[in-house]
Each structure stands twice: as C-alpha cells, then as structure tokens.
Amino acid sequence: MRIAIVGCGQLSRMLALAGLPLGIKFSFIKETEQQLSDCVDGLGTVVSLPRNWHQIADINALYIALGKPDCITVEKEQVDVKLLQAFQPYCHVFPNPEAIIACQNRHYEKQLLEKLAIPTSPFVYSLSANKTLRTLPLPLVVKSCRDGYDGKHQWVLKTAEDVQHFDSLNIQDYIIEKWIKFEREISLVSVRAKNGDVAHYPLTDNTHEKGILKQSTAPALELNHTLTLQAHAYMESLLTELDYVGVMAMECFVINDQLMINELAPRVHNSGHWTQVGSVTCQFENHIRALTGLVLGSTKLLGHVGMINLIGTEKPPFESLSASSKLYWYNKSVQAQRKLGHVNFLASDKEELSRQMNDFKRSICFEDGKYFPQVESN
C-alpha cells in the first residue's frame, strides 16, 4: 500500500517513519519550488507540483508520478483543497477536503464550533478594516483567517496605538476575538477510524511563548474527570460531524473548570509528539492505521511524559540527552524561531519528569543561552 502526503516537512517525516515498519510506501508532494524536502529525503518519492496542474491530464500524470497511491493525506491544513478534490476520483483523501476546509479558515472553524454548541471565544468576523475594532473593549486578539500558526498572523491589541497600527497594515479577512484570561492551556489528540471507532490520548498540558509551543507534558495534572469527559464529547461531536478519518487535535483553554476551544488541527499535532515514547501507539502510527483501515492502536499511557521543542537550535543537542530522553531531529535548515527538532522524556512520576526536563533546559541554555528561555515544567 502507498500513501502520498501533501508537504515535505517534519510531520510528513514522522508519519513515514511510523508507517514504514507497517510495510507502507510513501510519496510526497512538494508544493512549491522554494519548499525544501530535506525532512523526507530517502523516505520515498518526492514529486514537485506543476505550476499549472488544474487539467485532468496533469492530475493523472501527477498521480502516476506519485506511484498511484491508495490514499492522500496532509501534514498541515493550509493546502490547496482543490488539489485534494482533484485526487478524489483516483484514491481516498483523508481527512476529507470538507474537514480541511472547515479547519483551515478561522471563520469557518468558529462557525463549526458554534453549530455544534462547543464553547469558543466570542468573536467578530471582518473582511477588511472597519470601525468594529474601535467599538470593542480592549484588549483584543486579531487573527488572520488563513495561514496562522505558531503565533504568525496574529496581533494582540491592548492600546489605541495598537489598533491604529493594525489598521495601517491593511489586513483583510480576519476575526476579532475577545482576550481570554485562561488558567492553563491543554490539548486533546484523538483518532477516528474508517468504521467510526475513536481513540483518545490523555489530555496534555502545554506551555506557549509568543504563540509557539515550547513544551508539553502528559497526563495533564489536576484535571477533574468531568473535564476529560467534556473534551471527549466535544471531539467526538466534531469527528462525527466531519466524517473524519485520521488524527485531529483540539487546543483548549481551561477557565473555571470549563473548556473553551481555541483551535482545531486536522492532522497530527506538535502537542502529541510525546506519544512517540509515552504511548503504546504513537499519534503518527495511529494516523496511518486509520487511513489504511487497520484497527486503531492502544493509546494507553506508559508513564509521565514530556516534550520540549528545539527552536532555532543550530545542531542536535547530543550532549544534553539522558538515558530517559530521545531526540528527534528534522534535518531542516536553521532559522530563528523555527522548530528544528524535539526531545521526548519518559519518567515514572511527575517529579522525576520535571527534574529531567529542567535539567535538559539548563544544559541547553548553558550551551546556547539564546536558544530556550527558562520555563518551569508542570
């Protein structure tokens, strides 16, 4: 069986590495000439998307060049949905294009959550600059409806000067959200099979800085069981509504022991990377299992686990590894504020996990002080 993935980044890399032991072959679609394929070199055929691929003959040729895959999937939501739809006469596309559409546009995503009565932050949609910003109480968060990730295309407006500056940017197609004072950030990563079976990973505590995920730990600590059931119910409602196949992530705020959904991701997710050492079946393998019709793997937790992103690091931090940590390096070109790898940690209890992660961060900071600001582990 062969799976083609739209994109050549680290998520494609980890999907392929999880699927190869199952006997799955992989191909990758390089979307632009500027996109690098270093992450997936040696893991399968890389095919560049022609500039003008909209003709039936071009799609047929692309399908053949990809090795006639049985399924097409994605590593990110910001893809050309028309390309996914063009492949549907040839093979399965999971998640389906409708699910991608619902999650790649923040306005559509908000409408989906409201339709299902799932709590989300109050918002106003605007196609272009208008007087709305000046009538709403500050602070506010403005987010572009598309291409927003890792804090990009997001603006926090706290003062009248901030509003004036945003107006001068002439941004179009955005949502305006009320600033939410939350107690903590958690996420749920789940997977749905073709037959409708659903499996959930444990809720995960997340720490962000300037919109970029810095670290995750699981299980999320000191959450009541009702909150877990609430998260599962919201996720299952979304997966059913979208007739979803594969892994989906749901990022949430916790406010007064209630959940408010911040974002959805129709793909494997950074906050689920810890599953590579902390679960019987990692999120990447379960995504492959769902796509190929295999029974879903167990999501049972193996201990207390954590993940630290390596952001802007110039080289793999081999010297900072311990007997209980594992490095995942992406082979990407080094850039500031770019995720270049991550390290997973496994421990028998939360205290040991905290010690391991803090020791690692101190070691990294000692070697390269500009790499990672000190953030206390949960």
Tens digits of per-residue pLDDT, 23-80?
999 999 999 888 889 999 999 999 999 887 877 778 999 999 999 999 999 999 999 9
Compute the average pLDDT of residues 136-146.
90
pLDDT in tens, 326-343: 999 999 988 888 999 999
The CATH number of 184-367 is 3.30.470.20
Task: Enumerate the CATH 3.30.470.20 domain ranges in the chain, comma separated.
Answer: 184-367
Predicted local distance difference test score (pLDDT) of residue 130? 62
Question: In terms of C-beta density within 10 A (0-12 exposed, 13-18 middle, 19 or more buried), how is residue 86 classed?
Answer: buried
Strand 325-329 to 339-347 pairing? antiparallel
CATH number for the domain running over 122-178: 3.30.1490.20
Confirm if 172 and 127 have CB atoms less than 8 A apart. yes
What residue ranges of the chain are covered by domains with CATH 3.30.1490.20? 122-178
Say yes or no to pLDDT of 86 above 90.
yes
Q: What is the pTM of this model?
A: 0.93
The residues of the chain that CATH labels 3.40.50.20 are: 2-93
pLDDT higher than threshold 50 for residue 154:
yes
CATH 3.40.50.20 for domain 2-93, yes or no, is yes
